[in-house]
Structure 1
């Protein structure tokens, strides 16, 4: 930590002190530091491994666009070190969803959905700028846009099913392969990459996003699915009131109609959303099932309340049963529920604590 503070101070040309650990990951260390003038900045230092190098580039490029995150004050590519403006102690969307004020949580959800939609819409003409910035800050790893992660997940998902001793229905591989990027080639929009509730600050100036490590362009449907599922790749997964879930999805959709007016077509929208739900259900299964099989456990190491992995998996698989157009995939979901989840003695996924009286 001392080395990080010294390096960040040298980068800024003024000393920093009183570091507070804001929590990071295996890829990065995040500190709030005081300046000599009494202000504060946030310092983020990245590890030296391939994923951390890609995360450094994603964060640097995403913040450089200046669309929704804190101001990027300085960057040191050799040390993989960033200094950014401090957005303060505003509550996150997760804080409000896990709280007790349903009105505040509802306002925050709608602000989040509108904000993500505006971000995607405003970013459409800046895709070439993003690519140029990535080339400038490249640390030897492609962006997630250029990494065929959906295709890789298809192969890994089929391997996982075989590992579990399941005989998949005919046509599953073809269905999953045909989905591809769920419309990323036709309807791309910028995303910070991890728009989970704890990465969304509800400030006095509106929604501000943090954590741009996986920044890039992806199908707007993949972002919209965070409204429908909700929070497709996150730990903070509970059920939303049905009406509110529809409203936040519609709020996002209305914003992305500006660059993509054809998405007003209901059949086109529902088809894209179905593809996105399949992509994220595969993702969730890959990331949770191996740990959930031997024993259950919480979705987050420290946050409480929090659902369990088995609760989330069963909820995801059950939610995918209503999809149309993917018979082999829905048959696979039924297989997972009957062969693996039938013996899981866990309650159904509850509603978000903020809406406990509604869901």
Structure 2
């Protein structure tokens, strides 16, 4: 078994945890190196945050979020065992996976998300979601598709963003609460990979269950009964932790995910590109679905949720017309894969 001399583990961490021995490298994003390591025989995860001008910020966000969320009991995150800011190295608890067949994954996910959202938020950056440029680009997409834009739609979308901004200090957000960042243990789900942690409106992450995990390669749909049960468990958990009212509107959150062009591509390709314009020229596959399939699912969700909504009548008319046009223009699009349990094990 190779030794851990090449893992950038400081003498201070070695003195605290013991001599490191590399067990194996693990799959990770292009902006981090992750390994399973034993310290004097005890397994742990060593994560080295690399790449990009924001590497130091991502390290700070993850360390801060892990320490804050670790104050909640039961903890919704892997424990932070040690950290070296100079090398941007974290040593994390090695989570033992449980048996997914014995639990309702969506409910466990929602409970863990509620615990995470109930943690303190001091020291985290504010939420960065949909922006006015996203509104302009999305409405331009409708025009390119020859869908009439109701006169009230732009103002309604601006009001959605304003309402979400009004809850900008509300909760500790994971930033990318995807199924492959949610480890199912025998004690419930625990989250990992919190580099994108922020403080903001909790609803933008609870919306993942309806809108289909929008920042994830494994975008999927969940059966409506599972979504209903998971959302109820989320609110029950928040109340049990002393949060009698959860701020924000789930419909607003789903609308905000719909208009974000960045939610059509993986993280490395986000920001600074009009993905809506690219969508009219061609389609592309990312993980379990294409960009146009993601759009169609989100249009379905938002059109259904906004139907009869007094503050979003223009958005309701727009999204209903757009989903009809998308189906007509690209008739071979598939629906998102349906996950009966964990989205990482489709069909289970």
Q: State the TM-score, normalizing by the size of structure 1.
A: 0.75
Deviations 1:165-185 (A, max 9, x none): 356432333212212364464
Is the contact between residue 239 and residue 349 of structure 1 (CA under 8 Å) also seen in structure 2?
yes
Is the contact between residue 6 and residue 15 of structure 1 (CA under 8 Å) also seen in structure 2?
no
Matched, 1:328 2:329: no
Is the contact between residue 28 and residue 44 of structure 1 (CA under 8 Å) also seen in structure 2?
yes
C-alpha distance in 1, partners of 2:130/2:113?
22
Deviations 1:308-357 (A, max 9, x none): 33222211112211212313323332454355553321222342155999
Q: SS of the residue aligned with 2:158? A: helix
Moved more, 237-246 or 55-64: 237-246
Q: 1:4 to 1:31 in 2, by over 3 A?
A: farther
C-alpha distance in 1, partners of 2:159/2:173?
23
Q: Which runs of 5 or more structure 1 residues have no equivalent in the other structure?
A: 135-142, 264-268, 301-305
Moved more, 236-245 or 346-355: 346-355
For 1:150, which of 124, 130, 136 is the aligned residue?
130
Matched with 1:10 is 11
Q: Which runs of 5 or more structure 2 residues have no equivalent in the other structure?
A: 266-274
C-alpha distance in 2, partners of 1:339/1:286?
21
C-alpha distance in 2, partners of 1:91/1:168?
49
Q: SS of the residue aligned with 1:50? A: coil
Q: 1:32 to 1:183 in 2, by over 3 A?
A: same
Q: Which has the higher helix share?
A: 1
C-alpha distance in 2, partners of 1:2/1:331?
62
Is the contact between residue 10 and residue 84 of structure 2 (CA under 8 Å) also seen in structure 1?
no
Matched with 1:313 is 295
Matched with 1:303 is none
Matched, 1:261 2:269: no
For 1:118, which of 115, 128, 132 is the aligned residue?
115
Deviation at 1:56, TM superposition (A): 1.2
C-alpha distance in 2, partners of 1:171/1:294?
28
Matched, 1:203 2:180: no
Deviation at 1:197, TM superposition (A): 1.0
C-alpha distance in 1, partners of 2:208/2:37?
33
Written as runs of structure 1 = structure 2, the 5 A alignment for 1:252-291 is: 252-258=234-240, 259-262=242-245, 272-283=249-260, 287-288=264-265, 289-290=275-276
| CA root-mean-square deviation | 3.4
Deviation at 1:292, TM superposition (A): 4.8
Deviations 1:182-231 (A, max 9, x none): 44644822222221111111112222111111112221222221233342
Written as runs of structure 1 = structure 2, the 5 A alignment for 1:1-359 is: 5-13=6-14, 14-35=18-39, 37-65=40-68, 66=70, 67=72, 68-88=76-96, 90=97, 101=101, 104=102, 107-121=104-118, 123=119, 126-127=120-121, 130-131=122-123, 143=125, 145=126, 148-151=128-131, 154-159=132-137, 161-162=139-140, 165=144, 168-180=149-161, 182-183=163-164, 185-186=166-167, 188-258=170-240, 259-262=242-245, 272-283=249-260, 287-288=264-265, 289-290=275-276, 292-300=279-287, 306-322=288-304, 323=306, 324=309, 325-344=311-330, 345-352=332-339, 354=341
Q: SS of the residue aligned with 2:6? A: helix
